[in-house]
Amino acid sequence: MTDPSELFEAFLQSDRAQSRYRERNEKRDQVRDERLLPLLNQFLDGEIALEEFKPRNDGLNKQHPYWGFDGFNGQMHFNQMWNATPDQEELAVHLREILPKPESRAEAAERINAHADLAQTYRDNSIDAEPRYKPAMFFLSYFWHLQAPTEYPVFYVTSERYLEDHDRFVQDGEYGEDYVEFIEALDALIDRATETTDADWEYRDISNAIYWDRELRPEWEADEEEDVDPTGSSQEEDVLASFLPPIVSDLSAVAERDSETEAEYEEQDRDLAVVFEEKLHHSFRILGFDVEELGQGSGRQPDGIATAVRNDYAIIYDAKVRGDGYSIATDDRAIREYIETHARQLRDQGVRRIYFAIVSSTFTNPDQGTLRELRETTAVESIVFLSADLLEELMVLRLREPYLNLDDIRAVFGTRDGIFRREELNNVLPDWRDVTVDEFL
């Protein structure tokens, strides 16, 4: 066991550690300020629903794994609470009450205990999911730390064990009161670190030092070789251009009615809307779906149906070429007609899950009430707006990742209503791969 004073001095003296955490802290601050906090505030203000907030927060943490939220005590706990709740709106109200930064440590303790109590209630009454109670400390402290990093530290298990080993903390009471004692123990370490090193320390610096000492330092001492650039090259590769087949390589340019692309197809006397439909058919086939082409020349129809036969779901899809983005406006009546026309046919074929997707360049925020009414009064389970550029990236993931299958791709179309966001692509990759979309693209 490394004594705290020795640990803090060694941590500051390690050029490799300081370089690593200086860079990580800068990235943490940027991601927190530009992505995570705005998303959290949108949820707390009621601008987005819980069913959108949960997967987007998950995707961002997989893309930027700087807080450890993608593990058992973070996103897995979130998923378990979601799966166990009998009323999703009740859970959303609960989270909007407890996720804002507490005004005091006493209030923080009360909120943690309330969340642990709710987890116990869900556990006692749910057959399919059994959320644990202790993750309440990590789960809530993560969101509080985003909002007030100098007031509320993240309850990391590594820090907990270090404090226990040095007889500075014992988790043996109510979770809320234990979290307050955890903060007080870190306060004492901050004082010790400041006295020992004559430098300023924050909660995250203490957590970084402890993690470095317990996890990274032994590895580095065993292997003194410097880290190698994992890409093997300093030049960025245009992955999209190199992996997308020519037939769909200009999908997003067609979707946004790019002037040069439109002129090129006009010379061939081809209508851009028809071109986009054809490219969308090819795109779904590349992903692995069986495609029934509808659209042009077949009356009032969606543009196609993509069926995952072995995975028991289908996507009714429609293509919209838009230079200024797509708005659902009054299209809900046409969407309803498309669904009613084809849902019975799909049910007769034995397809249990049906989704609806609109693919375009960009989207204005759709009215959630309209989407909810369509979902609740028709046979589809979700209505998704997918941009063409994200569909391109999805195809590249499918072509580059041999283990990606249509069950994984279901996460794009079957998770929730509304606009599919880029960070949610990380939820498509299998968890065991331990890789992010950015590492592919």
Question: Over the stretch 122-144, which tens digit does the pLDDT of each residue have?
Answer: 888 876 667 788 899 999 999 99
Predicted pLDDT of residue 256: 94
Question: Over the stretch 267-299, which tens digit does the pLDDT of each residue have?
Answer: 899 999 999 999 999 999 999 999 999 977 556
> Residue 200: helix, strand or coil by DSSP?
coil
In degrees and rounded to multiples of 5, residue 78 shows phi and psi of -55, -50
The yes-or-no verdict on residue 62 having pLDDT over 90 is no
Question: How far apart (Å, rounded) are the C-alpha atoms in residues 104 and 372?
Answer: 38
Find the range with the poorest average confidence among 51-65, 84-98, 181-195, 212-226: 212-226
Among residues of the chain, what percentage have pLDDT more than 90?
A: 62
Question: How far apart (Å, rounded) are the C-alpha atoms in residues 428 and 426?
Answer: 5
Predicted pLDDT of residue 425: 87
Predicted pLDDT of residue 231: 42
Question: How far apart (Å, rounded) are the C-alpha atoms in residues 196 and 190?
Answer: 10
The yes-or-no verdict on residue 173 having pLDDT over 50 is yes
| Region 339-349 average pLDDT | 90
The yes-or-no verdict on residue 21 having pLDDT over 60 is yes
Question: How far apart (Å, rounded) are the C-alpha atoms in residues 129 and 211?
Answer: 31
**Residues 46/235, Cβ–Cβ less than 8 Å:** no
| Region 236-240 average pLDDT | 49
The yes-or-no verdict on residue 237 having pLDDT over 60 is no
Predicted pLDDT of residue 35: 93
Nearest residue to 139 (alpha-carbon basis) of 115, 104, 174, 164: 115
Q: What pLDDT band is residue 209 in, cutting at 50, 70 and 90?
A: very high
Predicted pLDDT of residue 280: 96
Among residues of the chain, what percentage have pLDDT more than 70?
A: 91
- Contacts of residue 76, defined as CB under 8 A and 6 or more positions apart, other chains included, come to none
Q: What pLDDT band is residue 64 in, cutting at 50, 70 and 90?
A: confident
| Region 60-89 average pLDDT | 88
Q: What pLDDT band is residue 238 in, cutting at 50, 70 and 90?
A: low
Predicted pLDDT of residue 233: 38
DSSP state of 45: T
Predicted pLDDT of residue 128: 67
Predicted pLDDT of residue 189: 96
Nearest residue to 72 (alpha-carbon basis) of 156, 165, 186: 156
Find the range with the poorest average confidence among 180-184, 273-277, 306-310, 414-418: 414-418
Whole-angstrom CA distances from 310 to 293, 345, 352, 408 are 20, 17, 11, 13
Predicted pLDDT of residue 330: 75
**Residues 35/64, Cβ–Cβ less than 8 Å:** yes
| Region 206-212 average pLDDT | 94
Question: Over the stretch 393-439, which tens digit does the pLDDT of each residue have?
Answer: 999 988 888 778 899 999 999 888 899 988 888 888 766 556 667 76
Q: What pLDDT band is residue 31 in, cutting at 50, 70 and 90?
A: very high
